[in-house]
Amino acid sequence: MDYEFKKNTLDGSYHATFSMGHEIIGRWLIEEVGKDFEKMDTILGQIGALKNSTKEWRLLGDELSLILQDHEAIIQANYLFSEEEEDFDEDMHFYDEESVSCCGFEDFELVLQAWRAFVTRF
């Protein structure tokens, strides 16, 4: 998983670009985490606590949520939690693929630590 963080010096906004299949992680960092160091500490603590566990932990966000389970971090759009079956066009499948992503705890922990270092520095 490749990623790059940037800050727009004109308006102070942050950008997080991730490789295909992981784009939603960047969106989650910007929209749901931002510079919330307490939230980052909580997530990192949960990762540490769940490394030798089969339990699940969820952090529900406004638009995107994080699920830690089975040594994977899953970020997905909240609309995917809907239990109703929608009858969408088959082309919507590609959109759904951009609405969920998962990676192992180790990679996710490194991403979160890198994000923390980036927003601290800038």
- Look up residue 77 and give its amino acid: A
pLDDT in tens, 16-59: 999 999 999 999 999 999 999 999 999 999 999 999 899 999 99
Q: What share of the chain is helix, strand, coil (3-state, %, to 5)?
A: 45, 25, 35
Residue 34 lies in a domain: yes
CA distances from 65 to 2, 47, 55, 76, 110 (A): 21, 15, 17, 6, 19
Residue 89 lies in a domain: no
Q: Quote the domain boundaries for residue 50.
A: 3-79+99-121
Mean pLDDT value across residues 97-119 = 94
Report pTM.
0.86
pLDDT of residue 98: 78
How many domains does the structure of the chain reveal?
1
Residue 60 lies in a domain: yes
- The answer to whether 7 touches 14, Cβ cutoff 8 Å, is yes
Residue 69 lies in a domain: yes
Question: Distance (Å, rounded) from C-alpha 46 to C-alpha 40?
Answer: 10
